[in-house]
């Protein structure tokens, strides 16, 4: 049995952290669903920037939409929604078979809204309405301005993928926002089944401290933070507050492991996938990581519900001078800045491509 199927059978959803028009038109995504138990996917500005910049799959659509007067964010979201609604339709059988728990794709609001609560709420509702797909998550960052937007968006009935979470504390803030949104729906007599995931970024921790800790601690911080977070997740699901909502019909906000591609070339390319196996969670993997795990990954047990050695290991990092709270805040800020840069690069790419394609299509006028 493939390692991907074993992971799926454990109860963890395998999602692809990638989307390109080529993946869709070539049938590759459909093959990953059939062969590797992939049941969803995620996207972000960096992924779309790379997809549009490094291929010509989007050229015809860019030309036609630009000719119709579309540009900037409007042009991008039309392209992204074309891809993601097609992907959502591929995953719809999974979505239906799991009662709406799995089979999701994700679209991020503009990173320029990271500090704009009201703008994020409005954009989330608008994008979800435009997609007209129940299995499309809107990604909202778990930044200070994003937390109240998450609550309001959940209350409005829009599924949310909370992104850019790095620590247990950031996760708990996002979980609290989700729960408040569900509690308000219950109080208002609304359906409590609004899906959400909370995305914990893992490998970036290890990249940040790679040259600052002794060799025995390298590539261990992200997993330790994940273990601490998983313990908090299991405790939350067992709490009386959550059990009351579950009894009312609510589905839990699942923890999602993000940034699970190995950055250190000296470490195993399946390090984070093997270490983060756990039921009732999601692992969204870069394409290379998915293929590596399918080829030679091993199931070596599952995350301990009580966190295992996480606290002892995190104490070692603290003794080594790593300020976990400060670093989590730094990583979140850096992540938001990186997405903003990709967003600006993406819009610049769309502008230059639109102009180039327009010039190429213009008839040549010969002087008489």
DSSP 56: S
Sheet with strand 38-41: strands edge to edge:
38-41, 12-16, 281-285, 254-258, 196-201, 160-165, 136-141, 105-108
Paired tokens of 159: 């599924």
User: In terms of DSSP H, where are the helices of 132-202?
Assistant: 146-155, 168-187
Active site residue 266: no
Q: Nearest Cα to 17, choosing from 45, 49, 54, 43?
A: 43
CA distances from 288 to 34, 53, 226, 291, 292 (A): 17, 19, 22, 5, 6
CB 159 within 8 A of CB 195: yes
| Residue linked to tokens 């979980």 | 175
Rounded distance, CA 295 to CA 298, Å?
9
Which member of 5, 53, 70, 139 is catalytic?
A: 139
Spatial distance between the Cα atoms of 88 and 107, rounded to a whole number of angstroms: 11
* 146, 120 contact by CB (below 8 A): yes
- CA-nearest of 254, 170, 253, 252 to 205 is 170
Residue-wise over 271-285: b if at least 16 C-beta within 10 A, else e? bbbbbbbbebbbbbb
CB under 8 Å to 290, separation ≥6 — which residues?
A: 4, 14, 16, 32, 36, 38
**Which residues are identified as catalytic?**
139
């Amino acid at each position: 049995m493939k390692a991907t199927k074993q992971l799926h059978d454990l109860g963890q959803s395998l999602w692809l952290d990638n989307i390109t028009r080529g993946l869709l038109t070539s049938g590759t995504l459909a093959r990953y669903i059939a062969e590797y138990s992939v049941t969803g996917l995620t996207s972000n500005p960096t992924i779309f920037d790379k997809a549009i910049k490094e291929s010509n799959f989007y050229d015809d659509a860019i030309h036609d939409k630009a000719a119709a007067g579309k540009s900037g964010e409007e042009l991008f979201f039309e392209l992204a929604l074309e891809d993601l609604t097609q992907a959502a339709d591929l995953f719809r059988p999974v979505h239906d078979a799991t009662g709406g728990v799995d089979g999701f794709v994700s679209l991020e609001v503009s990173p320029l809204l990271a500090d704009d609560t009201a703008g994020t709420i409005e954009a989330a509702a608008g994008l979800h309405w435009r997609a007209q797909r129940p299995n499309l998550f809107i990604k909202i960052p778990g930044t200070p301005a994003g937390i109240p937007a998450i609550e309001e968006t959940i209350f409005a009935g829009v599924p949310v993928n909370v992104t850019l979470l790095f620590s247990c504390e950031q996760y708990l803030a996002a979980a609290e926002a989700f729960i408040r949104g569900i509690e308000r729906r219950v109080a208002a007599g609304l359906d409590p089944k609004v899906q959400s995931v909370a995305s914990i970024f893992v490998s970036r921790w290890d990249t940040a401290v790679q040259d600052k800790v002794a060799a025995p601690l390298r590539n261990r911080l992200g997993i330790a933070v994940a273990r601490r977070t998983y313990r908090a997740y299991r405790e939350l699901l067992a709490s009386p507050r959550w059990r009351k909502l579950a009894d009312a019909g609510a589905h839990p906000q699942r923890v999602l492991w993000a940034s699970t591609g190995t950055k250190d070339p000296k470490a195993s390319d399946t390090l984070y996938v093997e270490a983060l196996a756990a039921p009732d969670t999601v692992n969204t993997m870069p394409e290379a990581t998915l293929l590596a795990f399918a080829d030679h990954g091993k199931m070596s047990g599952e995350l301990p519900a009580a966190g295992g050695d996480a606290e002892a290991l995190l104490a070692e990092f603290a003794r080594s001078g790593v300020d976990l709270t400060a670093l989590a805040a730094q990583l979140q800020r850096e992540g938001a800045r990186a997405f903003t840069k990709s967003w600006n690069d993406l819009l610049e790419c769309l502008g230059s491509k639109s102009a180039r394609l327009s010039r190429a299509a213009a008839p040549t006028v010969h002087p008489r």
